[in-house]
């Protein structure tokens, strides 16, 4: 199969295989975006006189046919074709002859892949937004359901003060709002049209870059053509960094769930069908799903470092190193989609142990409550602290397990309604800025 760039000589087959890498595999995911970008590019070329009206109609008709093939799963990148850009152009040339050869005027595969990745990541971030909202809703629903069920709170891994299942689950809901802020920032980075920057230095055609910006739904464009090329790697890192924040939240939740299902805790449990067994120990019900979610989250956090190491010391302009970004980004997005969906599934079946506080091992959780009670009676705080500490040391501390926390964000005042308003504001920003 001829290459778009061939100039009368053949590339060594080993070199060809090595340089193509996994592009044919990964580029299948970019196919709809490459075609959509080509349709916008054709419209622009016609508007500036580089294509006739009929040529524009013919090209867009064939591109629409190709897009429909992609949607139906009938599109492939042929053996020997380097990438999605080449496949689309070769298809148009086979169908339309000389007209098909005109589509590449005013652009390079460099700004094509930039465009494809921007369109791809924009779409992915909006899917993540929706998945986060689903998980947020589940967490808040559970938080309200179990708001009055107490559980131990921990510092330094030691039992510390009373918490509640409502407070614990609600915390992860609010943490997801923070993660949406990072998604918003990443969306702003990729919501800039790079098309028309060509190989990084523009070209002499009178391109209308504002037109393609509008046609493709970008909020703005990358004005400087070198800056557009410099965004390669930086854009992917922005997206992965945002996913790393989601991973930070989700990985911590997964660790909690692994710990809290253990026999020494027994705070929560999950249906048998959500767990796995041991090949040797008949009693085991393993939290494998949560462990794999945690592992996926750790790999996603590590992907940010991979992008930094791949791109951090490259000079400006295009480098073939960037090709490997897809091998980092695509698996990271897949892992996080799966993890968010599975976390929501697992939480849909969670069972809370509502009788935890009956266990005397948790009596010391209430020492601070005793100190505060004495303070409210007029005893200086440090004296109240000493009195209570001595009771614990003598072994005669008897807790009053009725608590009344009422301040904002406490056990008795979760503020879930206000947290939802924060979420709605973050969603509005993601949709409208």
Q: Which residues are catalytic?
A: 156, 278
In our burial notation (b when 16+ CB lie closer than 10 A, e otherwise), range 320-335 reads eebbbbbbbbbebbeb
* CA–CA distance, 75 with 69 (Å, rounded to integer): 5
Q: If you write DSSP's letter for every residue of 23-50 in order, what string do you get?
A: HHHHHGGGHHHHHHHHHHHHHHHHHTTS
Segment 256-299, tens digit of pLDDT: 999 999 988 999 999 888 887 666 776 778 889 999 999 999 99
Return residue ranges of the chain for CATH 1.10.275.10. 13-105
Place of tokens 């072994």: 395
In this prediction, residue 131 carries a pLDDT of: 98
Q: Is the pLDDT of residue 11 over 50?
A: yes
Structurally, at CATH architecture level, domain 13-105 sits in: Orthogonal Bundle (1.10)
Running DSSP on this structure, what letter comes out for residue 78?
A: P
**255, exposed or middle or buried, with CB in 10 Å at 0-12, 13-18, 19+?**
middle
The encoded tokens of residue 318 equal 């295009």
Q: Is the pLDDT of residue 7 over 80?
A: no
Lowest mean pLDDT among 74-83, 189-198, 365-374: 74-83
Segment 212-232, tens digit of pLDDT: 999 999 999 999 999 999 999
Reported confidence tier of residue 25, pLDDT bands at 50, 70, 90: confident
| Backbone φ and ψ of 192, nearest 5° | -135, 125
Cα distances (angstroms) measured from residue 315 to each of 17, 112, 275, 319 = 26, 20, 49, 9
The four Cα atoms 78, 79, 85, 91 give a dihedral, to 10 degrees, of: -40
* CA–CA distance, 40 with 30 (Å, rounded to integer): 16
Please report, rounded to a whole number, the percentage of residues in the chain having pLDDT higher than 90.
81
In this prediction, residue 5 carries a pLDDT of: 46
The four Cα atoms 119, 124, 127, 132 give a dihedral, to 10 degrees, of: -140
* CA–CA distance, 423 with 420 (Å, rounded to integer): 5
* CA–CA distance, 114 with 235 (Å, rounded to integer): 9
Q: Which residue intervals of 29-157 are DSSP H helices?
A: 31-47, 53-71, 84-96, 109-145
CB atoms closer than 10 angstroms to residue 101: 13
Segment 65-103, tens digit of pLDDT: 999 999 999 999 888 888 899 999 999 999 999 999 999
Segment 321-344, tens digit of pLDDT: 999 999 999 999 999 999 999 999
Average pLDDT over the chain reads 92
Lowest mean pLDDT among 19-33, 34-48, 157-171: 19-33
In this prediction, residue 207 carries a pLDDT of: 96
Return residue ranges of the chain for CATH 1.20.200.10. 110-192+223-358+406-432
CATH T-level fold of 110-192+223-358+406-432:
Fumarase C; Chain A, domain 2 (1.20.200)
3-state SS, residue 161: strand
């Amino acid at each position: 199969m001829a290459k778009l760039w061939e100039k009368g000589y053949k590339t060594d087959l080993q070199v060809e295989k090595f340089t193509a890498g996994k592009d044919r595999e990964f580029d299948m995911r970019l196919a709809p975006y490459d075609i959509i970008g080509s349709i916008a590019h054709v419209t622009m070329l016609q508007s500036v006189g580089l294509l006739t009206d009929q040529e524009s109609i013919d090209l867009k008709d064939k591109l629409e046919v190709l897009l429909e093939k992609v949607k139906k799963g009938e599109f492939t990148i042929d053996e020997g074709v380097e990438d999605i850009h080449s496949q689309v152009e070769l298809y148009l040339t086979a169908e339309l002859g000389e007209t098909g050869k005109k589509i590449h005027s005013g652009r390079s595969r460099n700004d094509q892949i930039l465009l494809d990745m921007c369109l791809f990541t924009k779409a992915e971030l909006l899917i993540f937004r929706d998945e986060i909202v689903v998980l947020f809703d589940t967490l808040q629903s559970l938080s309200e359901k179990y708001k009055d069920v107490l559980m131990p709170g921990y510092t330094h891994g030691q039992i510390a003060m009373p918490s509640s299942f409502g407070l614990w689950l609600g915390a992860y809901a609010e943490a997801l709002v923070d993660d949406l802020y990072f998604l918003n920032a990443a969306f702003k980075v990729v919501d800039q049209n790079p098309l028309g920057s060509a190989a990084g230095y523009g070209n002499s055609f009178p391109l209308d870059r504002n037109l393609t910006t509008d046609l493709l739904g970008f909020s703005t464009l990358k004005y400087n053509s070198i800056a557009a090329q410099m965004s390669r790697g930086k854009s992917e890192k922005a997206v992965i960094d945002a996913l790393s924040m989601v991973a930070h939240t989700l990985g911590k939740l997964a660790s909690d769930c692994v710990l809290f299902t253990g026999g020494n805790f027994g705070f929560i449990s999950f249906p048998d069908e959500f767990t796995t067994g041991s090949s040797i120990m008949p009693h085991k019900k393993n939290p494998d799903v949560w462990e794999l979610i945690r592992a996926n989250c750790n790999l996603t956090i590590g992907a940010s470092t991979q992008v930094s190491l791949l791109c951090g010391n490259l000079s400006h302009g295009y480098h073939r190193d960037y090709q490997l970004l897809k091998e980092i980004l695509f698996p990271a997005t897949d892992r996080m989609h799966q993890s968010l969906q599975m976390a929501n599934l697992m939480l849909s079946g969670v069972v809370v142990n509502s009788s935890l506080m009956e266990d005397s091992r948790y009596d010391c959780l209430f020492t601070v409550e005793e100190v505060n009670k004495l303070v409210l009676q007029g005893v200086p705080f440090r004296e109240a602290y000493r009195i209570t500490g001595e009771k614990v040391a003598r072994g005669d501390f008897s807790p009053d397990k009725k608590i009344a926390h009422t301040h904002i964000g406490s056990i008795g005042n979760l503020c879930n309604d206000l947290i939802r308003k924060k979420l709605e504001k973050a969603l509005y920003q993601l949709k409208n800025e």
